[in-house]
Amino acid sequence: MSFQNLGLSETVLHGAQRMGYSEPTPIQLRAIPVILSGRDLIASAQTGTGKTAAFALPVLCKLDHPERKIRCLVLEPTRELAMQVETAFRDYMRFMHTEVTLIHGGVGYGKQKDDLSRKVDVVVATPGRLLDHMQQGAVDLSALEFLILDEVDRMLDMGFLPDVRRIVEQCPKTRQTLLFSATIPEEIGRLASWCLKDPEKIEIGAHRTPAETVNHALYPVAVAQKFELLLALLARTNFDSVLIFSRTKDGADRIARELKKNNHSVVALHSNRTQTERVEALEGFKAGRYEVMVATDIAARGIDIAGVSHVINYDVPQHPEDYVHRIGRTGRAQNVGDAFTIMTAEELPHIKDIERFIGQSVPRLKLDNFSYVYTAIFNEAEAAAALKSAKGVRTHKGMRFGSKRRK
């Protein structure tokens, strides 16, 4: 099945071809006809599956002639995703006169107000800032035809669902609504039954499974040697670009600082950085100015960074879904990627949760010629038992299983 047979307009097809797309991805094959038929849609698909084009291409076919009224609104959970989706719209629209604008927090209101008053056709926004503009009367949604709620599970995690509801309340009832979410827990199901009409449901792949093109492995180590192991992994890995995940913002800054001292070109991305810094970090990493980016989970969902050859989890993610999202940053669009997770004995319970979630065990690897000060962590039964009894006594730093002191 080719793009030509999906019923897309010539101009949109042309835009997709210019992007180098020759064949539709599975989500595109299934979603495009549904959207063109005018039906509401709930779709769950892994990120990296081509879901932006799955909604943008058919919607753009219906916005062929510019009217300078907001006819399509896309809500995204993070600024980075909003930027990425706006760029995708611009790319697909390159042979059209339709206009798109981007609305998100962290930057001034002036230009955004101007853009909104110019009456663009498509708005890609994060919920908080859009609501601000709406409350100031700067947004006219009366001509809205398409409402796209993207990465809704992430919006739920970030506490945005009440804002999303407030926005949906202001949208005309005659609109077509498309909802994309990796998982559909109860809250999202409730939102969907309130804001969608008789939706078609599409599920692509098992969203619990990491992409098949990712090789993933665990590297157990003592807490005190985590950074040393990270350096050793970087030194022995033939990488193009590495995305390192840290659980905390401070941790991300610390890792970035230490890597810099070790002569790596590195940048940090997290929500305490200014918008300008976030854009610079992402652009710099994409352009290859930095070989390493250290990020919190803000970068884990949906951000499309071509050519990330390796993902390293400096901390084990506490939510199993985040593991899938984080390692999904590599191996996108059928490229092969490697994902390493540095793991301490204390993190063993999280690993077990992840393995249950993804339905497979992740291989434990030992780095050759690395001077492990403590190797009992490779015996997990023993590690788990020791951790349990240690927890019963006290849990402060000195008792951390895996530190030299307990040897």
Tokens, residue 140: 């006219």
Find out whether 354 and 323 touch, Cβ atoms under 8 Å. Answer: yes
3-class secondary structure, 174 = coil
Nearer to ligand AMP, 47 or 225 (CB): 47
How many C-beta atoms lie closer than 10 Å to residue 301's C-beta?
24
Nearer to ligand AMP, 48 or 199 (CB): 48
Least separation, in Å, of the C-beta of 235 and ligand AMP? 30
Between 31 and 50, how does the x/- string for binding to ligand AMP read (CB under 6 A)? Answer: ----------------xxxx
Nearer to ligand AMP, 3 or 160 (CB): 3
| Interaction of residue 246 with ligand AMP, rule CB under 6 A | no
Could you give the C-alpha distances from 353 to 212, 319, 358, 361, 401, in angstroms and in order?
A: 20, 8, 9, 10, 19
Find out whether 329 and 300 touch, Cβ atoms under 8 Å. Answer: yes
Least separation, in Å, of the C-beta of 84 and ligand AMP? 7
Least separation, in Å, of the C-beta of 75 and ligand AMP? 15
| Interaction of residue 403 with ligand AMP, rule CB under 6 A | no
Nearer to ligand AMP, 35 or 221 (CB): 35
Least separation, in Å, of the C-beta of 297 and ligand AMP? 17
- Return the biggest CA–CA distance within the chain: 71
Nearer to ligand AMP, 180 or 314 (CB): 180
Least separation, in Å, of the C-beta of 26 and ligand AMP? 10
Least separation, in Å, of the C-beta of 350 and ligand AMP? 27
Tokens, residue 240: 């193009």
Between 13 and 32, how does the x/- string for binding to ligand AMP read (CB under 6 A)? Answer: ------x-x-xxx--x----
CA 157 to mean position of chain CA atoms = 12
- Determine the Cα–Cα distance for residues 135 and 197; give it in Å rounded to an integer: 27
Q: Kindly tell me the burial class for residue 198, based on how many C-beta atoms sit within 10 Å of its own C-beta (0-12, 13-18, 19 or more).
A: exposed
| Interaction of residue 304 with ligand AMP, rule CB under 6 A | yes
Q: What is the DSSP string of 319-382?
A: SHHHHHHHHTTSSGGG--EEEEEEE-GGGHHHHHHHHHHHTSPPPB---TT---S--GGGSHHH
Nearer to ligand AMP, 50 or 220 (CB): 50
Least separation, in Å, of the C-beta of 16 and ligand AMP? 7
- Determine the Cα–Cα distance for residues 155 and 158; give it in Å rounded to an integer: 5
394 φ/ψ angles, rounded to the nearest 5 degrees = -160, 160
| Interaction of residue 296 with ligand AMP, rule CB under 6 A | no
3-class secondary structure, 91 = helix
Nearer to ligand AMP, 333 or 365 (CB): 333
Find out whether 245 and 312 touch, Cβ atoms under 8 Å. Answer: yes
| Interaction of residue 51 with ligand AMP, rule CB under 6 A | yes
Least separation, in Å, of the C-beta of 131 and ligand AMP? 25
Q: Which residues here bind ligand AMP, judged by CB under 6 A?
A: 19, 21, 23-25, 28, 47-53, 304, 306, 332-333
